[in-house]
Chains A and B, each alone.
Chain A
Amino acid sequence: MKILICDDTEQPLTGLAQDLAAMGHSDVEVATGDKVAKLADGLEQRRKAAASGNESAPAWGESAFDKADLVFIDYNFVQLEHSNGLTGQRLAYLARCYSAAKYIVVLNQFGENRFDLTLRDHPETYADLHLGLQQVMNEGLWSDREWPSFRPWTWPVLPEIVTKMERAAIEVEAALDTPILKHLMLDGVAGAIPRNVKQFLGDESVTFREFALKSGFDVSDKPFSQKSIALIAASRVAKWLEYLILSAQDILIDVPRVLSRYPSVLGEGGLDVLENEPLSSTKVNALNLPAAIDDHRYQKSDWIRRPAWWRSGVLGEERLSENQDALAPETDLRFTEDASRFLKSAYVSGFVADLNSPFVQRFVLSERDPEIDYQPQLRFSL
């Protein structure tokens, strides 16, 4: 996996390169100072060339961004001498729309070590993921094993998500003129998607191409390469699906919601067997969920960071004992969104996520690391 790191100064992201190398990711390029300004300028030239049609610009495939599987961009470029107002967010826009970069992570835009209690992130931004610098080396971002006690459930496993994003973009290339909802198998439930969630796409029949051209680019900007359209659409639609549909847990549900509803699938011990166990993919795969659950799996798995199932399908599944007896045994375990594991209610605090969904009551650890900034604090339940 080729990793590109962009920052205004040598430190502290160069330290990150060493840490990544220690982890086995040796193909890391660090662009700082003038080098990052030059890279950004190359993308700006592409943008201008696309808009005016008569400027020269680096050919598609020539930029370091084009070759990167994973790009880390520091949000703050204050120490850049010739920044021309460049911010990490602007560079993320240029990288998404004017390069073939696969997955873009913007660092420190919302804090160096923050947990987002809204659970909706920032779907409108061009970063595929927002992280704080202090979070980048969290093992839970890089591997499916050994998740530490702080490992937000919404985070992807980076090497895995890069591959998924690549496959999603290939899917889009073959379906550019297909309505997004149809391709994502959501057309049958379009009526259940709240208006303010659908509005991100534009309308119910919008195609990938239309979406990328209308909402992918700033007002007067145009695509430099037709190859960018699939990447833009895949990136932005995947983010919409992740944060506005799956996070809501009312159309698609993920594994904690499946297991807390249907603990019988875990056998005799029920949900208790998972107490304090991080729900990594390896762990989830080892559960061998029965066909009664798995028959309702959402098939577009490359578009989301973790497995999902159709909520209505699972709730209507007669083979599940909990659906036959409405009053199944209750559990004292709550799923913690910041630790990705079930814990007893005495060890969790409630908060209200900012989602268009009835399922906004969520939980985090009650004993939290003071170094981690849980925001907005107002979201904690009274």
Chain B
Amino acid sequence: MTKEYLELRSLLIRLPDFQREFQNYTGHECKILELVNKEHEAASRAYLESSLPSTASKLNMASDNRHIFLTPFEDNNHTYLPLLSVDLDFTLAWPMISIHLLHYGLDKGHSKAEKLKCFGYRYDKPAARVGDHDYFHVQFTHGTEKGRHNNRINRWISTKDPSIPIDATDSVQLFLSAVIAVRNGFKTRRDLFDEWRQAGIAINSMLMPMAFQRWRPASANNT
């Protein structure tokens, strides 16, 4: 468990280093940043280092309203700004982790707050070892804090279904799944792994057990 916590900590605290700095945002990215930053605070490496001691502990980024502002990207005539936050409690016998993502989007022709939209989803480790929800999964959310609805997110979206199984058997793999899923078009997955590797993290051994990494077509003849 300590190893899992330390690996997760080392991945998480370095993640802000790999994102585009605010001062290097381009025109429309600055506009969406201005709007999103009114509602959420950015979590820096310093915040994460001080919030996550090297002994197993708790972290509640979502309830602190602190998020890692991932590198923005463009798609579908929108500028998107994804935010990632992690709630964890490794002081429990069955350590808990939830990874929240909010994808803010702003139509490229607009800059007003009314046009800011969002969708949210959360990666969960199963809360119990048995039951119908006893698998690592991701599902839609209405926000990052329990009981508080993010007004930018459509209410009709079910937060129960789908509950999609995730390629993870521990919190490190769950975290990697969440980060790898956000493809911003500026960096390849190899770039991301290279950044962690150069930071001295044994990323290969963390990725090795994951199916997405091991999967390869057997051969052209078998297809």
Contacts and interface: CB of A to CB of B under 8 A. Distances in A.
Q: Which of B23, B195, B199 has the most CB of A within 10 A?
A: B199
Given A359-B195, A359-B198, A381 B213 contact: no
B198 A260 contact: yes
Interface stretch (A65-73, A219-227, A280-288, A326-334): A326-334
Interface string A284-312: 00000000000000000000000000000
Interface residues of A, number: 25
Contacts of A361: 14, 17, 198-200
Interface string B186-199: 00001101110111
A315 B193 CA distance: 12
B204 A328 contact: yes
A126 B165 CA distance: 58
Contacts of B213: 326-327
Contacts of B182: none
Contacts of A326: 190, 193, 207, 213
Interface string A308-330: 00000001000000000011111
Q: Which of A194, A327, A329, A350 has the most CB of B within 10 A?
A: A327
Given A261-B194, A261-B197, A361-B14, A330 B202 contact: yes
A352 B45 contact: yes
A382 B49 contact: yes
A260 B194 CA distance: 10
Given A194-B21, A195-B24, A334-B200, A315 B194 contact: yes
Given A194-B21, A194-B24, A360-B17, A327 B204 contact: yes
A382 B50 contact: yes
B121 to A, nearest CB: 25
A261 B54 CA distance: 27
Given A326-B193, A358-B18, A361-B14, A257 B198 contact: yes
B21 A356 contact: yes
Contacts of A382: 49-50, 54
B16 to A, nearest CB: 10
A155 to B, nearest CB: 21
Contacts of A381: 49
A196 interface: yes
A196 B24 CA distance: 7
A327 B18 contact: no
B208 interface: yes
A327 B202 contact: no
B219 interface: no
B205 interface: yes
Contacts of B204: 327-330
A257 B199 CA distance: 11
5 contacts: A196-B23, A315-B194, A328-B204, A382-B49, A382-B54
- The 5 A-B pairs of least Cβ separation, nearest first, read A361-B199, A382-B49, A358-B18, A358-B195, A327-B204
Interface of A: 194-196, 249, 257, 260-261, 315, 326-330, 334, 345, 350, 352, 356, 358-361, 363, 381-382
Given A315-B194, A330-B204, A356-B21, 7 more contacts: A194-B23, A196-B21, A326-B213, A330-B197, A330-B202, A361-B199, A382-B49
